[in-house]
Amino acid sequence: MGSSGINAEYMGSSGINAEYMGSSGINAEYMGSSGINAEYMGQEYDDSGLEAILFVADGDMRIALNSMQSTFAGFGLINSENVFKVCDQPHPKTLQHILEKCKTGHIHEALPTLTGLLKQGYSTIDFISTLFRVVKFFKMDEKLKLQWIKMIAFAHMRIAEGVNSSLQLTGLLGKMCTAATQSGARAG
C-alpha cells in the first residue's frame, strides 16, 4: 500500500497496460500527482486498484473518482478485484486467459471461461467492450491482432444492433481461433 509505483510498460498484477491509460486522458502520474488520489482521500488502496481504476475510467476523471469512492465504500479497500466487482466489467486477466487459448487455437479451453463470465451476469456488450480494450495491448503478432480487432468490431456492431446472444461471442471466439490457427500454419 502507498503511493503508486505503477509500471509504465506492462502492469502484470492486473493485466492492464499503462500506455493505453496515458493516451486516454488520465494516467497513473496524473492520478498520483493531482491531489485527487486515494491516499489524499484517506482511502486504503494498492497499486493494482489504481491500475484497475485507470482501466475502468477509460480517460474519464468523473468515472475514476466515482469508481474509487464506490469501491472504498463497498469493500474498504481499493484493489483490482474489488474495483472490477463494483464497476461490473469482466477482469482483464480473465479475458487475457481467453485470448491466450484463442491464440493457440484451443476453443474448447476458451469457451468454459466465456460461459462462466456470462453465468456471472456479464452481458455480451460488457464482454465485447472489455475484450476490445484488452486485445489492443495483448502481446501477439500484429497482423493477427488487426484481424482479431476487425472481428471484434463486427461482433460488437451486431451485438449493438440487438443480436446479443452468447452465440455471437461463441462464434467470435471460433473465428479468432481459426484465424490464429491459419496464421500459425502460414508462419510455420
Whether 95 shows a pLDDT value over 50: the answer reads yes
42 against 5, higher pLDDT: 42
Whether 187 shows a pLDDT value over 50: the answer reads yes
pLDDT category at 165 given cuts 50, 70, 90 is very high
The alpha-carbon radius of gyration of the chain (Å, integer) is: 17
Q: What are phi and psi of 164, to 5 degrees?
A: -110, 40
Q: Which three cell numbers stand for residue 182?
A: 491459419
Cα–Cα distance for residue pair 162/133, rounded to 1 Å: 21
* Average pLDDT rounded to a whole number, residues 115-120: 96
Task: Say which DSSP state 45 is in.
Answer: B
Whether 33 shows a pLDDT value over 70: the answer reads no
